[in-house]
Amino acid sequence: MPKLLEVEDLKMNFYTYEGIVQALDRINLNVREGEILGLVGETGCGKSVTALSILRLIRPPGRIEKGKVIFRMKDRLDESKQGMNLLDQDEVFMQKVRGNEISMIFQEPSAALNPVYSIRDQVSESFLLHREKELCQKALKRIEEDIKKETFFLKKAILKMERGIYLKMIENPSSFFLKFLSFIPGVRRYNRRVLEEAKIESIEILRILGISHPEEVVMRYPHELSGGMQQRVVIAMALACNPTLLIADEPTSNLDVTIQAQILDLVRKLRQEFGSSILFITHDLGVVAEMCERVVVMYAGHIAEVAPVRSLFQKPLHPYTQGLLKSVPRPGRKDRLQSIKGSVPNLISPPSGCRFHPRCPSVMTRCSGAKPSLKEIEKNRLVACYLYHQETEKNDT
Amino acid sequence: MILETRDLKKYYPITGGIFKKEVGQVKAVDGVSLKIERGECLGLVGESGCGKTTFGKTLLRLLDPTSGHIYFDVPEEVKVRTGEKERRHDLATFKGRRLKDMRKRMQIVFQDPSSSLNPRMLIKDTVGEPLKVHGLARGLELRKRVLELLNRVGLTSDHLFRYPHEFSGGQRQRIAIARALATEPDLIVLDEPTSALDVSVQAQILNLLQDLQKQFGLTYLFITHHLLVVEYISHRIAVMYLGRIVELARTKGLFENPLHPYTQALLSAIPIPDPEVRSHRTILKGDVPSPIDPPSGCVFRTRCFMAARECKERIPDLVSLGDEHYVACHRVRSKSREPAHPSQNDVKR
Ligand SMILES: Nc1ncnc2c1ncn2[C@@H]1O[C@H](COP(=O)(O)OP(=O)(O)OP(=O)(O)O)[C@@H](O)[C@H]1O
Ligand SMILES: Nc1ncnc2c1ncn2[C@@H]1O[C@H](COP(=O)(O)OP(=O)(O)O)[C@@H](O)[C@H]1O
Ligand code: SF4
Ligand code: SF4
Ligand SMILES: [Mg+2]
Ligand SMILES: [Mg+2]
């Protein structure tokens, strides 16, 4: 499968008061077209930071030090079709990418919603921002229908004028003519038909997302909805622009299991329907097993292992993955859990070499020296561990 | 039996208007009758807001019950020592000294170890505080006991003179457990003790809790929303929904043969950490209703795929179906006659 997104040798730091947090170091991963790629790891291992780096949403004191984020777009933004490095683009370009091409769903739905606007306003806004042209076309179609139906000549003339405006809008939505119109009383609200279309679309998408009585729900405000419903609204906003890549950062971690089941089921259906690729971030190995085709395992800002989901659970290679799988309770099993000793290190002074070495049961002398590189040792299986190969990462220069 | 609640209720008042008049009630715990056996780990599961924490706190009288009884059984030797005559105490009626004495026998560990520990207190003082408050140890003896407690949870004398923020989440939870053990309680309520921890650390804490239980014959009420954790650690499990217990059974019985429709849906919703298992899933519609105005009759009926007319009219009692299996559902007994067909809600994957 062709690669949609490639992250190469990404390194990023946070320059905090206590010291430099080396949050990501040489992250390499790719998302293939149409797949759900899982990104798992424990708290603080850099999952969210990876997602934010891809979208260039890292704020100071954070800084991306080096690396590439190559993205192949569906749109005409990318003429070469070769993919472009998002890290080289300016903010204006990135704003088009965010939303139009890559959407993100966050862990905390209430943080993604504005408390003072109704659900309708917020979902419509996403549609207006990213699909205005499509909405204009729909509105135009409706005008044509109205013209056909209308018998009174004066009204017909007004409708025809309206048609003219909409044709202009489709041609060039930011033209001077339209800006001029918005100052004239009477025609100022020329775009009301587009707003109307956005409203219809919003209700429709919420219905697809399994919200009953969406007409009534859209009138409410975020705090009047439960967590599960809020998360659906956030998903609706993310899907409104039909993204090529959807990044879901722990979308169900704060929800109850029965609601989580609804949302996971939904995401699976949406993938089939909309054909988006998904980067699914979670710390729950159960969710990974259910949702993903391939998995990237992260540990303390490094990538430990990449594998197809079945082989990962059948035969985990990296000692960290092995430990993680042994420490989850499983249905029907009462034998003692095996835990990993110690805890996740502080990334201000991360362990040298393989960052897992202070906790690793198979640690060798060389492990604390240089970092093992992430190497493909079987088809589709990459691992960064000296038990499987001897290649070290070249030093930074 | 170490503790038994009878029809325990805890309603929170909702106040409104300028005179703070009571305008309604949140029925957080609505008539729970539950027995906890000495030496067992009873799991209490349910979704967010169903009243688990409220129940746990009410048991320890950290909250005052609205009505109902909490019978606490004092071990024989203590009764002899203190000269208590009654066999049972209704904790719900206790006040002052007596309440303080009883509290010594019951402790609670909360979900978030960082907010339950005082950030400005050294670890030795945090762990030693309950000993001081109850006058159990002083001076050198106190030092010795604190160190002993820390050793029990896998910490050392190096940690005595440090502050909570210097520890990881897992270590802080160990400190909270050491503190709970200080008064040598009979019963410990564990309110989501591992929910804020990473899986690898969660396993350490679960193992520690199991070891401590065996070593000191502790009784646990283990509150969680994580079903695989509760399956691993509990002997019996109570399933709670909107302030009521809907099913109670031994762990194996519950997981192999869940009878209440809610339990069935809950169990089928667990993401299984094994890609080979593709379970048959019952997806519930909608959300948990508000506990301010719960549905009439069976509280689960708004989401139940088996609901019938009678469910609206009568509240089902928790009845025994033999083999220590209790269910509160009108339609479970008649199941043999009318097989349930949750077909329209079933999603094959
Ligand atoms: N101090 C309070 N005043 C009013 N209502 C409260 C108060 N504390 C809890 N509630 C309500 O009581 C119900 C039960 O709350 P409780 O905290 O016991 O739930 P829980 O099962 O522990 O949930 P979680 O899994 O989220 O911890 C909820 O509806 C909650 O909103
Ligand atoms: N704004 C920030 N300032 C300083 N450090 C940060 C910031 N955001 C994240 N970090 C650090 O970066 C690392 C990775 O964090 P994150 O990506 O949020 O982890 P997770 O895998 O849980 O999503 C952690 O060590 C965290 O403390
Ligand atoms: S490189 Fe060494 S320390 Fe790291 S996981 Fe492999 S064996 Fe363990
Ligand atoms: S009593 Fe009725 S509504 Fe309640 S769980 Fe049983 S079948 Fe469902
Ligand atoms: Mg995160
Ligand atoms: Mg709680």
Distance between CA atoms of residues B263 and B257, nearest Å: 10
Average pLDDT over residues B228-239: 95
Is residue A97 very low, low, confident or very high in pLDDT (cuts 50, 70, 90)? confident
Which of A109-118, A259-268, B276-285 has the lowest average pLDDT?
B276-285
Highest mean pLDDT among A369-373, B237-241, B286-290: B237-241
Indicate whether B124 pLDDT > 60. Answer: yes
Ligand 4 near B176 CB (within 6 A): no
Q: Which residue has the higher pLDDT, B268 or A226?
A: B268
| Best mutation target, A294, A339, A340, to test chain B (most B CBs within 10 A) | A339
Residue of A333, A370, A103, A354 lying closest to A236 (CA atoms) = A103
Q: Using CA atoms of A280, A232, A95, A197 in order, give the dihedral in degrees to the nearest 10.
A: 140
Tell me whether B203 touches chain A (CB under 8 Å).
yes
Distance from the CA of B291 to the center of ligand 1, in angstroms? 9
Is residue A8 very low, low, confident or very high in pLDDT (cuts 50, 70, 90)? very high
Is residue B74 very low, low, confident or very high in pLDDT (cuts 50, 70, 90)? low
Indicate whether B190 pLDDT > 90. Answer: yes
Cα of B96 to nearest chain A Cα, Å: 39
Tell me whether A261 touches chain B (CB under 8 Å).
yes
Cβ pair A257:B200 closer than 8 A: no
Distance between CA atoms of residues A318 and A355, nearest Å: 12
Ligand 2 near A18 CB (within 6 A): no
Nearest listed ligand to the Cα of residue A44? 2
Is residue B343 very low, low, confident or very high in pLDDT (cuts 50, 70, 90)? very low
Between β-strands A277-282 and A36-40, what pairing exists: parallel, antiparallel or unpaired?
parallel
Indicate whether A126 pLDDT > 90. Answer: no
Distance from the CA of A212 to the center of ligand 1, in angstroms? 26
HSE toward the beta carbon, residue B253, CA cutoff 13 A: 18
Cα of B251 to nearest chain A Cα, Å: 10
Average pLDDT over residues A352-379: 93
Q: Which atom of ligand 2 is nearest to the CA of A52?
A: 17
3-state SS of chain B is CCEEEEEEEEEEEEEECCCCEEEEEEEEEEEEEEEECCCCEEEEECCCCCCHHHHHHHHCCCCCCCEEEEEEECCHHHHHHHCCCCCEEEHHHCCHHHHHHHHCCEEEECCCHHHHCCCCCCHHHHHHHHHHHCCCCCHHHHHHHHHHHHHHCCCCHHHCCCCHHHCCHHHHHHHHHHHHHCCCCCEEEEECCCCCCCHHHHHHHHHHHHHHHHHHCCEEEEEECCHHHHHHHCCEEEEEECCEEEEEEEHHHHHHCCCCHHHHHHHHCCCCCCCCCCCCEECCCCCCCCCCCCCCCCCCCCCCCCCCHHHHHCCCCCEECCCCCEECCCCCHHHHCCCCCCHHHEECC
Tell me whether B286 touches chain A (CB under 8 Å).
yes
Cβ pair B274:A324 closer than 8 A: no
Is residue A70 very low, low, confident or very high in pLDDT (cuts 50, 70, 90)? very high
DSSP classification of residue A358? G
Cα of A227 to nearest chain B Cα, Å: 9
Distance from the CA of B203 to the center of ligand 3, in angstroms? 21
Cβ pair A339:B274 closer than 8 A: no
Distance between CA atoms of residues A54 and B321, nearest Å: 56
- Nearest C-alpha in A relative to B273: A286
Which of A69-83, A270-284, A317-331, B9-23 has the lowest average pLDDT?
A69-83
- Nearest C-alpha in B relative to A308: B275
Q: Which residue has the higher pLDDT, A170 or A321?
A: A321
- Nearest C-alpha in B relative to A263: B283
* Total residues belonging to chain A: 397
Per the DSSP assignment, residues forming a β-bridge with B3 are B36, B72
Q: Considering only CB atoms, which chain A residues are within 8 Å of B210?
A: 336
Ligand 3 near A367 CB (within 6 A): yes
Cα of A397 to nearest chain B Cα, Å: 34
Average pLDDT, chain A: 86
Average pLDDT, chain B: 85
Predicted confidence (pLDDT) per residue in A210-249, tens digit = 777 888 888 888 888 877 788 888 888 887 777 889 999 9
Cβ-contact A249, A284 below 8 angstroms: no
Distance from the CA of B51 to the center of ligand 1, in angstroms? 6
Cβ-contact A217, A229 below 8 angstroms: yes
pLDDT at B288: 81
Cβ-contact A155, A147 below 8 angstroms: no
Indicate whether B347 pLDDT > 70. Answer: no
Predicted confidence (pLDDT) per residue in B95-119, tens digit = 888 888 888 889 999 887 777 888 8
Tell me whether A214 touches chain B (CB under 8 Å).
no
Residues framing ligand 1 (Cβ under 6 A): B 12, 26, 28, 46, 48-54, 225, 291
Average pLDDT over residues A151-178: 77
Which of A37-51, A67-81, B312-326 has the lowest average pLDDT?
A67-81
pLDDT at A396: 54
Residues 6+ apart with CB under 8 A from B158: none
Q: What ipTM score was computed for the predicted complex, to two decimals?
A: 0.81
| Best mutation target, A211, A213, A253, A258, to test chain B (most B CBs within 10 A) | A258
Cβ-contact A187, A166 below 8 angstroms: no
Cβ-contact A299, A345 below 8 angstroms: no
